Amino acid sequence: MNRAIGCLAGVLALALWPGAAVAQTGAWETTMAAGMSAHQGGHYAEAEEKFSAALKEAEAFGPEDPRLAASLNNLASLYAARGQAARAEPLSRQALAIREKVLGAEHADVAASLENLGSIYAAQGQYARAEPLLRRALGIREKTLGPEHPEVAQSLNALVELHRARGQAGAAEPLASRALAIAEKGRGPEHPDVATSLNNLAGVRLAQGKYVEAESLYSRALEIREKALGREHPHVGTSLNNIGVLYATRGRSAEAEPVYRQALAIAEKALGPEHPQVATSLNNLALFHVTQGRHAEAEPLSTRALAIDEKALGAEHPSVATDLNNMGLLYASQGDFERAAPVYGRALAIREKVLGPEHPDVASTLTNLAVLRHEQGRLREAVFLYRRAWEIREKALGPDHPQVAASLENYAVLLRAMDHPRMAAPLEARAEAIRAKLPQVQAAK
């Protein structure tokens, strides 16, 4: 299973306190502005240095000064961008507490802190904690700024990514479309915020199996980012990774590999070797090697991706489950079923616990485990697993999704192996009908 990356526009801000000493505020503001410029340019080490210095300066203003809250907020956003959600969370919570007390519950700066904290929770896989914060941020912004303000698009994008992570592409789609329309109107067609909305709408289309639309959106996002941010910006790496996922999903392996390698090089240089985005690129490149039968090249990449994610995100994060799922594929493709089974089992347990029993990612691991049981001759177990995967996909993705066709085909193969051709035939016919509607789509597994 390849992993695409969504994007959030980090909520960075300055805040001025009426009556504050001009010299003090001027020095702090200069430091903060330098940090924001570095952050937005993808120079995260420099941004951390500036934001840390600004925080130290702001502590002199008092424990409830809005400048302290802004400094905490921006440093938290920087940590989150660097994949350090555990460091970001307490700073973001402190910023929110200050702003709610000093500015009131409906202030736009409170919305910024709510969005940052909600996005941090989402990055940690704590989706139930994230959603009410993100919805509250959206409500405040719509009320205080108006329904077409660019910051409303930011809040919509945060909810899009939450829904997509939870396997709720149908809920994400109208939010993503609205975010893109607002960003284009408010920022202009070449702004990086437009690229963020394009990227996120493309991710929804990818999840829906609408691959032609997804490719067009991803390509436009990449073009904007390269032009506006430069070819080595982390967001360019994100776009390249996602285009690689799309190519791999459509069976265009020769095109996927160089894109994955370029995305990995950008992520390692810009974010450092221990960032979760590096793990994503490693994971996707490893899976590519598995599909090509290059197991010796795949295994060290897969092992490194898992180690990064476990360290950065924790042992029960959905990204760890993806790493485990793909490691299971690596073992199974070599016929090492004894190593594959417990790895799949751990991936399934994480996904069911964190994502819920009806998430499409649960269906993917069930399918892989079913293939394994089929290969082992444990056909009755495989029947149960295939049927459950099929039912999840049909409910979550809709009856005409390519992954539903894949489930039907897999189940039909098993039924024929069990000498039930009459039961297999209608499943094969239905899968063929789904494929006929999607002539450009490579079979999903």
Query: How would you write 242-261 as a 3-class SS string?
Result: HHHHHHHHCCCHHHHHHHHH
Q: How far apart are CA 31 and CA 279, in angstroms?
A: 32
pTM confidence score: 0.87
Residue 412 placed within a domain: yes
**287 inside domain:** no
Determine contact, residues 75/36, Cβ cutoff 8 Å: no
Structure tokens belonging to residue 278? 């590096």
The DSSP call for residue 6 is -
How far is Cα 244 from Cα 234, in angstroms, rounded to an integer? 15
Q: Between helices 402-417 and 379-397, what is the axis angle to 10°?
A: 160
In this structure, what CATH number is given to the domain that contains residue 413? 1.25.40.10
Count of domains for the chain? 1
Evaluate if residue 401 carries a pLDDT over 60.
yes
CA–CA separation, 266 vs 68, rounded Å?
33
Question: Any long-range contacts for 166-174 (C-beta under 8 Å, 24+ apart)?
Answer: 166/127, 166/355, 166/356, 166/359, 167/207, 167/355, 167/356, 167/358, 167/359, 167/360, 167/361, 167/396, 169/204, 169/207, 169/208, 169/397, 172/200, 172/204, 172/207, 173/201, 173/204, 173/208
- Tens-place pLDDT, residues 411-427: 999 999 999 999 999 99
Q: CA 92, CA 80: separation in Å to the nearest integer?
A: 10
Give the model confidence (pLDDT) of 321-345 as tens digits: 999 999 999 999 999 999 999 999 9
Please give the structure tokens belonging to residue 214: 């997804």
- Check pLDDT > 90 for residue 111: yes
What is the rounded average pLDDT of the residues 66-76? 95
What's the chain's average pLDDT?
Answer: 92
Q: Which domain holds residue 411?
A: 357-445
Amino acid, single-letter form, for residue 339: R
**Residue 402 is which amino acid?**
P
- Residue 257 amino acid letter: E
pLDDT of residue 8: 53
343 in a structural domain = no
395 within some domain: yes
Residue 13 has pLDDT above 70, yes or no: no
Query: Is the residue at 391 inside a domain?
Result: yes
Residue whose structure tokens are 């069911």: 352
Residue 72 has pLDDT above 90, yes or no: yes
Residue 202 pLDDT > 80, yes or no?
A: yes
**CA torsion through residues 283, 287, 292, 298, sign:** positive
Residue 309 inside a domain? The answer is: no
User: What pLDDT was estimated at residue 16?
Assistant: 43
- Could you read off the pLDDT of 263-283 as tens digits, one per residue? 999 999 999 999 999 999 999
The answer to whether residue 150 sits within a structural domain is no
Question: Which of the four pLDDT bands, split at 50, 70 and 90, describes residue 18?
Answer: very low
Q: CA distances (Å), 134 to each of 53, 127, 128, 130, 443, in order?
A: 29, 10, 11, 6, 36
Q: Is the pLDDT of residue 17 over 70?
A: no
Kindly state whether residue 337 falls inside one of the protein's structural domains: no
pLDDT at residue 439 tops 60: no
